[in-house]
Amino acid sequence: MWQKPVVEIRVEEYERGTLPELTALYKEFALPAMLRHCGAPINFYVPNVGRINCVTQLWAYESLSDYDRKQAAIADDLSWQQYLRAADGIVRYRENRLTRRISFPGIDQLPNVATTKRVVDFRTYLIHFNKMPRFIETTEQHAMKVMVRHIGPPLGYYMTTVGNLQQITHVWGFDSMGDMETRRLARNADPEWKNYLDASHGIYERQETQVLLRMNLFDGA
C-alpha cells in the first residue's frame, strides 16, 4: 500500500474533546465504506506536537483516475452518507491534497517498518519556484543515504500534484520521541549531513514539522 504512486493526504479538524466520539463514528460508518472501495489506508495519525484536534489520514491509489472512481463510489455508499450526517457538528473542517510518491532507486527495495512505528516526523517543505528538480536531485545524492543510515527508509516522500505545487511532504517513523531525538542527533553529527545542507542552500522557502502518533482504527493497522 505505501508504495502506490498517488497518495491523498486528508486532514479532518474536530471539535475539542470529541475525538473518542469521532473515532467511534469513523469505525462504525466511514471506515467500512473506505475499506470497501479503497482498501486499507497507509495510516491514521493524531498530533503529539503540532496542529491539535486533527486526524491526518494517508490513502494510496494507483492513479488519479483510480482516485476519482473510488471517491465517486464512496460518495454513493450509504455508510459514508451516514457518517457525514453523524459527524455534522463534530468535524469542523476538512482539507485534502493529492500527491505523487517520489521513488528513490535502492531505497524502495529496503525493508520498511515506518508504517508500523508509533511516532512519525511529518515534514512539509515549501520549495522555491523552479527549484524542485534541484531539490529532488540533492535529496537523492546527499540527504537520503544519511537519513537511511541513521533513521531508516521513509514511510514516503510525496510531491503535491493537486494543491500547492511547490510542496513536498515526507514522513519518517520512530519508536518514540526519545528515539527520534537520538537518531536526529546522530544524523546531524554525520559529516555527510553537512554536504547535504550546503548543497541544498537556497532551495527551501519554508519548512514545517509535526510529530504525529499512529492510531489503531482496525485490526492490522
pLDDT tens, residue by residue, 146-163: 999 999 999 899 999 998
Of all helices (H) and strands (E), which one includes residue 49?
strand 43-49
Strands, E assignment, 70-155? 91-101, 119-127
Q: In 3-state terms, what secondary structure has residue 53?
A: coil
Q: What is the pLDDT of residue 220?
A: 41
Q: What is the pLDDT of residue 137?
A: 94
Query: Which structural domains are found in the chain, ordered by start?
Result: 6-99 (3.30.70.100), 103-214 (3.30.70.100)
Q: What is the pTM of this model?
A: 0.90
Residue by residue, DSSP assigns 202-220 as TTEEEEEEEEEEE---STT
Query: What pLDDT band is residue 53 in, cutting at 50, 70 and 90?
Result: very high
Query: What pLDDT band is residue 221 in, cutting at 50, 70 and 90?
Result: very low
Q: What is the pLDDT of residue 217?
A: 75
> Quick one: average pLDDT of 120-125?
95
Flag whether pLDDT at 78 surpasses 80: yes
Q: Which of 169, 103, 173, 167 is nearest to 140 (CA)?
A: 103
